[in-house]
Amino acid sequence: MVLEQFKEDFMDYQMYKCTMCGYIYREEKGESRMDIAPGTLFDDLPENFKCPTCNQPKMAFELRKL
């Protein structure tokens, strides 16, 4: 069933925190302000991805354990 599969996938998603402003990128949600589709893994973000609130590059983000 599709919903069950979605739940399983949901569990594997990670969150990454911007160390400058505390913004959290959630892989399961993506980032509509940056045209990032829901389910986009942090590693798959374009190299020019920037924090939508403080414009820090990807390297300013750190993995945040759930």
* Stretch touching Zn ion by CB under 5 A, among 2-10, 16-24, 28-36, 38-46: 16-24
Q: Which amino acid makes up residue 43?
A: D
In degrees rounded to 5, what are phi and psi of residue 24? -115, 125
Binding residues for Zn ion, how many (CB under 5 A)?
Answer: 8
Q: Is 13 in the site for Zn ion (CB under 5 A)?
A: no
- Contact indicator for 53, 23 with CB cutoff of 8 Å: yes
Tokens of 39: 């389910």
Q: Is 23 in the site for Zn ion (CB under 5 A)?
A: yes
Query: Which residues form the interface with Zn ion (CB under 5 A)?
Result: 18, 20-21, 23, 51, 53-54, 56
